A and B are shown apart, each in its own frame.
Chain A
Amino acid sequence: MTSLLAGGCKKYLEQVPDSTWTDLSTPAKVSKLLGTAYPQASYITMCEAMSDNVGDKGVGVYYRPNQDAYAFNDIQWIEEDSPEAYWKACYTAIAAANQALTACDKAADPSAYKRQRGEALLARAYAHFMLVNIFAKSYDANTAANDPGIPYVTVPETVVIKQYERKTVAYVYDMVEKDLLSGLPLISDDAYSVPRYHFNQSAAYAFATRFYLFKKDYPKVIVYADHTFSNNDVANNMRQWNGIYASMSPAQIFDLYANASEKANLLIAEAPSLWGRNAGRMRYDLDYVHQTQILGRNVTGGQWSYPLYYYGSQDYFVPKLTEYFVKNSVNATIGQPYVMTPLFTTEEVLFNRAEANAWLNNTSAVLADLNLFASKRIRNYNAAQHTITLPAMQQFYGIADAKGASIRTILDFKRAEYLQEGQRWFDLQRYKIPVIHTTREGQILELKADDNRRLFQIPAAATTSGIALNPR
């Protein structure tokens, strides 16, 4: 009996244990590591609650990332959905990318690792780019060289507590651009089993459009947008809100929205988050007034086809992201709530191009993109009735200037499209739009254009690495 067991044991021990994480001796193993090079955290809860998409309903689920953000206070929460969790997840993703890059450098035949290098560079650039936009000021060419950035980490950390510098927003943008541009030509979709879970070509170009839009380098936005889809076919890669989605139940939409089979999702990532459970239900959330304002009248004269539902009597939501509850073990009744989040969608490429064209005064190109968008979003779209024209935009917003009217239209369309996805916050940051929150108790809280509280606070734990907190 003993010898039998020993025999079995020996065979077992002869096997090299699964060490995918440390053994990076083949391109496939590096690819596996890169599966963790995307931030596994969600900014939606905190960004939505900071934005002008929400109101105080008086009652609802109480959740620190929601209530503190609505009050423009530092968020007293370090678990999922908090700035601290997002910070940590980004640097964890960056660490994986750096480890992968080291493996690519050390490999005997680096040319075999080209695709892995491309993905690692893009992932590293993306995580830093999101960090700088959440924890530092939005890019402004006049001040970027002085605005504190976030540490740009390019090598694996090998000591317990390493010291870092925030440097400047301009420096971070330069580094992101460098990684982005050197990674972009190396990206190839055939490296991935499910391309939408990785920086595939379309996702990488979409990231480039966001990067250059935020950097206000508009001609480049258009160049990269035009490269995002083969034959520049945006239309057939858009979400079919007024097509197949229109006849779906909320449960069906929840299944499809963040799914890899949806062509509009260019890059999808998982994150531990309570958003799927809480969306719409929190106290400071989408209420009647805001849903009417955002999804009500629009410049086309038609109705948005976004389905709007509510729980109870006032918890409004558009079915989008839902919870995946991962049990701790097969028989467990406890586990971790996750949400799958689209990080880039086709529509953003369209919006980024339209916004760049607006800044370059190409109004006809703006209208072409906006009308394409409307044709996929307006219920019973009828070109004769719903076509957007420059005078229509000027009249709807009361703005005489073509550029101003175009940008207002784009920002409003984006606000509706990305409702309850957190994106609105970044537009508010870029244009320094003041945000006003009122409370049930009658308080009026104002976030002015240059308010220090517009920057989420860096985790206190980061000060041990010599990182200065944001001023308050």
Chain B
Amino acid sequence: MKALLLIIPLCLLLACSKKDDPGNVENIPGLGGDTWVNSPLDKWLHDTLTVPFNIAVKYKWDQFEFELNKTLVPPKEEKIIPVMSAIQRVWMNTYIAEAGNVFFKKYCPKYFILSGSASWNENGTITLGTAEGGRKVVLYLVNDFLTKSMEGYRPSDSANVKQMFHVIEHEFGHILHQTVMYPVAFKRVCAGFYTGNWNNISDMEARRDGFVTPYSMASFDEDFVEMISTMLVEGKAGFDAIVNSIPNGTSINGVSKAEAQSRLRQKEALVVSYFSIVWHIDFYSLQTRTRREINQLLY
């Protein structure tokens, strides 16, 4: 039996040696990753994000970082620094100021992937960002980014830029609740009103049911992080304006104005207490800082 086993590998080796020469295996293009001469952009990313926070930013094209059935374009190189420095001001610096360096280094996502265009879905919606396992964050629509210090900025562009901040605050919210879950009471506030058809619901219809955005109707988790991101990006006054914009009467789902407003306020209180109890962060102070930075960039 042993002899037989020995003979078989020998035969295989013999068979193999007769096959074609596999070529120069030392030189397969791209094996071991892409290499390129570091540009000032690479140096800026390294010095600003990688050295202090261990954050890598991938802007070179790699479809495998995205969904494979989506058609996307790479980000423009001149957009990378404006996007990342705006994120640094609005999101990183504000969290560091409120919660400290250790908190931020521990929980911040370590891998940013950038896409120039949005990721279009079957149902007509676009995906603006995704977070995976608390480590990787994909940001889409980088090529539409414009702030008031950039050429050609019109106030109407602020919506796109605010969306970007909304996304990063949203995804970081996911990381926080994936680390320590929010209280179950949050799930009871709007129980029964969540739906996969949120994309067919207008902003105002969502508000009238006690949701801050239509997307927050997608699930409990989305509701929680949409509350965080909307409150941070719009600021206290902006959020109050949303709550006060709910008109009299009842929604098509039978929710009264008072009920919708109370739901939003209950959820606000739960978010604030979650930040205070779990993360020892004064949410309102974080909100003020975040909104101040956004104002300086946009208005």
Contacts and interface: CB of A to CB of B under 8 A. Distances in A.
Interface of A: 57-59, 246-249, 287-289, 291-292, 295, 303, 307-310, 313-314, 316-317, 379-380
A287 B253 contact: no
Interface stretch (B74-82, B96-104, B121-129, B258-266): B121-129
A58 B69 contact: yes
A247 B254 CA distance: 13
B96 to A, nearest CB: 32
A316 B196 contact: yes
A439 to B, nearest CB: 13
B192 A314 contact: no
A237 B187 CA distance: 28
Given A287-B122, A308-B196, 6 more contacts: A59-B69, A247-B192, A248-B192, A288-B121, A309-B196, A317-B196
Interface in B99-134: 121-123, 125, 127
Given A59-B67, A249-B191, A314 B197 contact: no
Interface residues of B, number: 21
Nearest to B126: A313
B195 A309 contact: yes
Contacts of B192: 246-248, 307
Given A57-B122, A247-B192, A288-B122, A309 B219 contact: yes
Contacts of A287: 122
A313 B69 contact: no
Q: Do most interface residues of chain A lie in helix, strand or loop, or is the interface mixed?
A: loop
Contact of A314 (B121, B194, B218, B252): B121
Contacts of A313: 121-123, 125, 127
Given A59-B69, A380-B254, A309 B194 contact: yes
Contacts of A295: 197
A295 to B, nearest CB: 8
15 contacts: A59-B69, A246-B192, A247-B192, A288-B121, A289-B122, A307-B195, A309-B196, A309-B218, A309-B219, A310-B196, A310-B218, A313-B127, A317-B196, A379-B253, A380-B252
Contacts of A57: 122
Query: Closest 3 interchain pairs by CB?
Result: A247-B192, A288-B123, A308-B196
Contacts of B195: 307-309
B123 A314 contact: yes
Interface in B35-83: 67-69
Nearest to B254: A380
Contacts of A317: 196
B239 interface: no
A26 B42 CA distance: 82
A466 B252 CA distance: 61
Contacts of A314: 121-123
Interface of B: 67-69, 121-123, 125, 127, 187, 191-192, 194-197, 218-220, 252-254
Nearest to A312: B67
- Scoring A249, A287, A379 by chain B CB atoms within 10 A of each residue's CB, the highest score goes to A249
Nearest to B199: A288
Given A288-B123, A313-B127, A314-B122, A249 B196 contact: no
A314 B120 CA distance: 11
Nearest to A314: B122
Nearest to A246: B192
B223 to A, nearest CB: 12
Contacts of B123: 288, 313-314
B296 to A, nearest CB: 34
B126 to A, nearest CB: 10
Contacts of A310: 196, 218
A57 B197 CA distance: 17
Nearest to A57: B122
Nearest to A380: B254
Nearest to B119: A313
A286 to B, nearest CB: 10
B221 to A, nearest CB: 12
- Most chain B CB neighbours (cut-off 10 Å) among A287, A291, A309: A309
Contacts of B68: 59
B117 to A, nearest CB: 16
A247 B219 contact: no
Contacts of A308: 195-197
A401 to B, nearest CB: 33
The winner among B68, B194, B196, B253 for most chain A CB atoms within 10 A is B196
A373 B126 CA distance: 36
Contacts of A309: 194-196, 218-219
B230 to A, nearest CB: 21
Contacts of A58: 69
Contacts of B194: 307, 309
A287 B124 CA distance: 12
Nearest to A252: B191
Nearest to B125: A313
Nearest to A247: B192
A249 B69 contact: no
Contacts of B191: 247-249
A448 B96 CA distance: 65
